[in-house]
Structures are given as structure tokens and as C-alpha cells.
Amino acid sequence: MSTSPSILSVLSEDLLIRVYGFLDPPCRKKWRLVSKEFHRVDSLSRTSIRILRVEFLPALLLKYPNLSSLDLSVCPKLDDDVVLRLALDGAVSTSSLKSLNLSRATAVRARGLETLARMCHSLERVDVSHCWGFGDREAAALASATGLKELKMDKCLSLSDVGLARIVVGCSNLNKISLKWCMEISDLGIDLLCKICKGLKSLDVSYLKITNDSIRSIALLPKLEVLDMVNCPLIDDAGLHFLENGSPSLQELDVTRCERVSLSGLISIVRGHPNIQHLKASHCVSEVSTSFLKHIKALKHLKTLWIDGARVSDSSLETLSSSCRSLMEIGLSRCVDVTCIGMMGLARNCVNLKSLNLACCGFVTDVVISAVAQSCRTLETLKLESCHLITDKGLQSLGCYSKLLQELDLTDCCGVNDRGLEYISKCSNLLRLKLGLCANISDKGIFHIGAKCSKLLELDLYRCAGFGDDGLAALSRGCKSLNRLILSYCSDLTDTGVEQVRQLEHLTHLELRGIKKITGVGLAAISSGCKKLCYLDLKLCENIDDSGFWALAYFSRNLRQINLCNCSVSDTALCMLMSNLSRVQDVDLVHLNRVTVEGFEFALRACCNRLKKLKLLAPLRFLLSSELLETLHARGCRIRWE
């Protein structure tokens, strides 16, 4: 008897590719396991990849010929030699790559960057953020990628005006560049950037010590839409006045913590850009005056306003909210003089709010929370840190009306109790919940979160002393999607509860700092279950013995950052950890009383070719071999001596 043909045989490749396009990443992983044809469609359709182990790079590039985005930011052993070997492999093609992420790839220097620029003819986006060795020679090498449109160089501390000049001359078509924390960049470099790259649409000069001369140059950019200059200490109102009649396309401005900027400067921005949509001026405006309100009335398209730390009266808030009814995000943290009346007016007028920050606002009461919840039904983010007057009555309103709430911060809200958590649990779409320092919650309240908030991705329970093993077990059973969990200083937790964390298969970030009752048994259970763990904080977990660290070394091969300060790890266990954890890049090793100098030497030699950041006690600077320290430095590792 002949068997009927499989339906897969009658589906064309084009149709399979279209179906593939509707799948999310987890489903795509299952898709390619179904059949060889599905696997081939996955290989042809995949356009982005994040590589963890550099030895697989050539094979993966061959397997996925149509990649347009390549992320090498978590590849610990990536260096110039790897790039050169890749270039010599004639079978590997990178001509289709448009986006390359080299963030924290500190061992890739000028030679490797020049090779990559030559190999990837179609490059449009490059990220070299936090490459502290990225300097003028590296910038000159990258400048050969003449088609670059977006470049991110945050915290490239060795980059100067000379290197920036090489980039802008070679990559004159840039439309987005970030220079945050590039402390050697001055007015000269910014001026040249603005003269050559006339098509810039987004510019980030946050934390630079540039002056108003740079703002004069920036004001000449005709297409600039986004300008971020957070904490630029030398920029003042005169600089913002240049922008009033310049940058006609400006839609977003961030002058947060620019201490010399006042309302006068902001008024000039508002006056010159009536179509601006996002204005962020946190902690630089002392008060919201009538003159500012007079001009802000004209901003009919304003969607975001941050005035955190300002003095705002009820009448000012009423005027502001009634004029800017399109507001979707407002920051009022640490604002003074506001009362319930002003906040109720805001809630009544700005019904489309999606994000509201009221952290450290003493005026926030249950009445305010109820008004916000009932009026702003589309609210997604609510930050209420240190709002001590909130009780379960206010949280009851959130549970009833804020069905779309995704992020809720109740850190240090002493009025939050178990009944409040029961109400919060009705916000079933919650993704991020912060309950740190909430002293009045217990396992009873956490049971409700575990039972109803199944979508939760991040949970912070820092110093929640009433939370124990039973509560953690409930969370582990009900919140299977958790990828970030903070349990530091939850002193009642023991191995019994911590063992349940192994059920959280998607967990990538775990903080257990200061939990004295955890032993090697608990750590072994976590290690065996949480295979995706990337970040682990065990500082002050003094009772974990070598058995736990051996298990960690065997199972947790994805760990990239670990804090072992004040732990009871031995020479042998530390060497095993540093040798087996092949992806670890950031390690804190302070106050390890059982580890000898020889133990540190052997452990660091085992991982010196992949470390990016290392924290050690200062005396070890003179006890470790100079050869080891030179090797670490040459590989791009930054050592913090404490």
C-alpha cells in the first residue's frame, strides 16, 4: 500500500520562507530540528547571529550565507589573529554583512579592524563601545569602511580628535554617531564632524567636556533629529541659544544633569523648535516657571518630558498637562511642591500616558495612584521608588485598572504589604517588578506573584527580609520566564529554597550576595539547572564550599561575569573555575582568604586570553608576576586594584 506524500513535499521554498518569517526566535530553533528542508530554510533565511565561541565563527559564517548582522560582543577570545585567519579562509564570505557589534572586544586592534573593514564591503553599522584600547590608530583603520552610516564609540577612552578626524573624513556619510564618555574629544573634533558629516541625524556627546563652541557647530546640522548631551558640565544657556535658530529638524533633546543649563536655555529650545517631541531636562531645572509654561503650550506634539528634581506647583502641572495632551512619558521624580491636586489634574488631562516616573515624591498617596490608574488605562511603566505613603488601597486600583502595566518599581515603599502584592498580581502582563527594601512583604504575598504573574522577566527582592524558601519555591514554579532575579541579602533563604531556582531555565542574571545560609549544595543545584546563567553575584556567600564551585565550573559554561569577593573558594577550585568557564570576561576576586598568590597566578593564567575586567586587592600588584600582568594588559584586560 503506497503512503501519501508528506505535505512538506508540496510546499515551495518561497512559502516556507514566508512561514519562517512569522516565527519568534524560540520557535525558529524548534523549526530547524523538524527536517533537513526546514533546516536549509533556516540557514537561508537567518539574517542575524550572536556568536559566543570564536572557534565556531568560520563554520557559522559558511552555514548562514545571508547574514546581515553579526554580534561578536560576547566572544571572549576574539583578537586580531582570529580576524586574520578568517580573512585567509577563502570559503568564508562576509560581503553581505551590514551590522557588526564589537562592543567590549578589547583585543581587536588596528590590524584586525582594518581587515574587517576590508572584508565587509557593505558595512553600515559598527559598535566598538567600551573598547578602552580603541584609539586613533584603530579609528584610522575603521575609516576604510567608507559606507558606514552608524557608529557607536561609547567609552573609547583613548580616542582623540585626531582619530575622530580620520573617521569623519573616511566615512562622510555618517548619519548616527555616539561619542559618550570619549573624554579626549574636544570642540575641535566636534567642529570637524559637523562640517563634514552634514547628513547627521543622531549625535550623542554625553559627558564630554565640550563648550558652547561645539553647540554652535552642531546647530549647523540641517538634518539633526536627536541630540543627547547628558552631563556636559561646560554647556550653558548660551550654547542652547545657538540651537534656537539652528538644527531645524530637531525632535529630541536630552540635557539631563547639565548643571549650567537653566530655564532660559530650555525656553530658547522650545521657542525655536515647536515640533520637538522629546525634551529631557532632569536635574538641571530648578523650577517650572510661568514663562516656561507660556512657551511650552506651543508644543502640541510633545510626547516625552523629563523635569525630574524641579519645583513644580499644582497650577503649573495643571497648565502643562492641559496644554500637552499628547504626552506619553513624563518624569517627575524628586519634584517638590506638587500635591494630590496637581497629580489628579495630570492624570485627567494626559490619558495616553504610557510611562510615569514619581520616584522619591513624598506627595504620592493612594489617591494619586487611584487617579492615575483609573484615567491612564494604557500605562505600561510606573516608577514609585521611596513613595512611603502608598498602601494596599492604591495598589488595589492598579490591579483593577492597569491591565497593560509591564514595569512597576516599588523599591523602598514601606507601605507595600502582602495584601498589596495580591492586588498587584492582577496585573498579569507585568514583565519587570522591583520590590527591594520592602520590609513588610512575606512568602504569603510572593505566592500571589508566583501564581498570577507568569510573564514576569525581572524581579528584584533585594533585602526583603520576610521573604523565604517557600516564597522562592512559588516563584520558581510560577514564573518560568524569569531571566533576572535579585535575592541579595534575603537572609532567611537556605539551600532548600535556592535549590528550586534550578527550575528557571531562562535565568541569565542572578544575585545572591550576602546570603549566609547557602552552601555548596544550593549552588550545585542552581548550576545544574540554570544553564543560561551569564551573571552571578556570590559576594559574601561565605558558607559555599568547593563542591559548589566545582559544580559551577562543570555546568555554568555560559557565565560571563562573576563576583566571588569574600567567598571561601580554594586555590584548586578557583583554578578549575577560571579554566572551565571559557566565556568569563569580568571577575571580582577580592578578599579570597583561602587563595594563595600561587593560586591567583595559576587561575589568571588559565583565563588571561579572555578576561576584559578584573578586580584584585592592591597588594597583589607587587606579588603577581610582571609577565602575567603584561599579558593581561596586552589582551585588553582592565585591572581595578582595591
Query: Per residue in 391-413, pLDDT tens?
Result: 999 999 999 999 999 999 999 99
Q: Which helix (H) or strand (E) holds 375?
A: helix 366-375
- Global pTM reads 0.93
pLDDT of res. 5: 57
> Which residue matches cell numbers 507660556?
294
pLDDT of res. 235: 97
Count helices and strands in the chain by DSSP H and E runs: 26, 24
pLDDT of res. 420: 97
Nearest residue to 76 via CA among 615, 609, 637: 609
In the predicted model, what is the mean pLDDT of the chain? 93
> Which residue matches cell numbers 592592591?
618
pLDDT of res. 1: 45
Q: With 60 as the cut, is the pLDDT of residue 319 above it?
A: yes
Are the C-beta atoms of 167 and 151 separated by less than 8 Å? yes
Q: With 60 as the cut, is the pLDDT of residue 503 above it?
A: yes
pLDDT tens, 337-369?
A: 988 999 999 999 999 999 999 999 999 999 999
Pairing type for strands 561-563 and 535-537 reads parallel
Q: Which helix (H) or strand (E) holds 323?
A: helix 314-323
pLDDT tens, 22-71?
A: 777 677 667 677 767 777 777 777 889 999 888 889 899 888 888 999 99
* Crossing angle of the two packed helices 314-323 and 340-349, in degrees rounded to 10: 0
Residue 582 in grid coordinates:
571559557
Q: Mean pLDDT lowest for which of 116-120, 493-497, 543-547, 624-628? A: 116-120
Q: With 60 as the cut, is the pLDDT of residue 532 above it?
A: yes
